[in-house]
Amino acid sequence: MKTTGIKKTDVLILGSGLAGLLLALSLLENSEAALVLVCKAGLSDSNSSWAQGGVAAVTGANPFDSPQIHYEDTLKSGAGLTDPRAAAEIIFSGGRLIEALDHLGVAFDRNPQGLRDLALEGGHRQPRVLHSKDTTGRSITSALVAKLISAQQAGKNITILENTQAVRLLCDDKRCYGAELLSETGLEHWQAAHTVLATGGLGQVFARTTNPVVATGDGVALAHRGGANLADMEFVQFHPTALRLDGAPAFLISEAVRGAGAILLDHKGRRFVKRFHEDGELATRDVVSRAIHTVMSEHELNEVFLDLRPIGAEKIKERFPNIVKSCAQYGIDVLRAPVPVAPAAHYMMGGVQAAVDGRTSLTGLYAIGEVACTGLHGANRLASNSLLEAGVMALRLADLLKDVQLSEGMVDFAALPQLAAVVIPDQLEAFRRAMYRQAGLVRSASGLSAILDYKDCRLQSIENAAAHDFTAANIFLVGRLIAAAALSRRESRGAHLRDDFQETAVHYNRVAAI
d(CA 281, CA 198): 32
CATH topology (fold) of 239-343: Flavocytochrome C3; Chain A, domain 1 (3.90.700)
CB 293 within 8 A of CB 343: yes
State yes or no: pLDDT of 25 exceeds 70. yes
Active site residues: 285
Q: What per-residue confidence (pLDDT) applies to 174?
A: 87
The mean pLDDT of the chain is 94
Q: What per-residue confidence (pLDDT) applies to 414?
A: 83
CATH architecture assignment, domain 414-498: Up-down Bundle (1.20)
**What long-range pairs does 201-204 form, CB within 8 A, spacing at least 24?**
201/47, 201/347, 201/348, 201/370, 201/371, 202/236, 202/348, 202/475, 202/478, 203/47, 203/344, 203/345, 203/346, 203/347, 203/348, 204/432, 204/475
Mean pLDDT value of segment 154-176: 95
Q: How confident is the model at residue 506 (pLDDT cuts 50, 70, 90)?
A: low
Beta bridge partners of 372: 352
Alpha carbon distances (Å) from 428 to 215, 238, 247:
15, 21, 19
Q: What per-residue confidence (pLDDT) applies to 6?
A: 85
Q: Phi/psi at 322 (nearest 5 deg)? A: -70, -40
Provide the residue ranges of all domains of the chain, joining segments of one domain with +.
3-234+349-401, 239-343, 414-498
Q: Pairing relation of β-strands 186-197 and 365-367?
A: parallel
Q: What per-residue confidence (pLDDT) applies to 401?
A: 96
- Provide CATH code, domain 3-234+349-401: 3.50.50.60
Q: Which tops the pLDDT comparison, 428 or 47?
A: 428
pTM of the prediction? 0.94
d(CA 286, CA 496): 8
Q: Residue 198: what residue type?
A: A
CB 169 within 8 A of CB 223: yes
Mean pLDDT value of segment 99-113: 94
CB 39 within 8 A of CB 162: yes
Q: How confident is the model at residue 355 (pLDDT cuts 50, 70, 90)?
A: very high
Q: What per-residue confidence (pLDDT) applies to 410?
A: 80
Q: What per-residue confidence (pLDDT) applies to 514?
A: 39
d(CA 243, CA 232): 28
d(CA 236, CA 451): 16
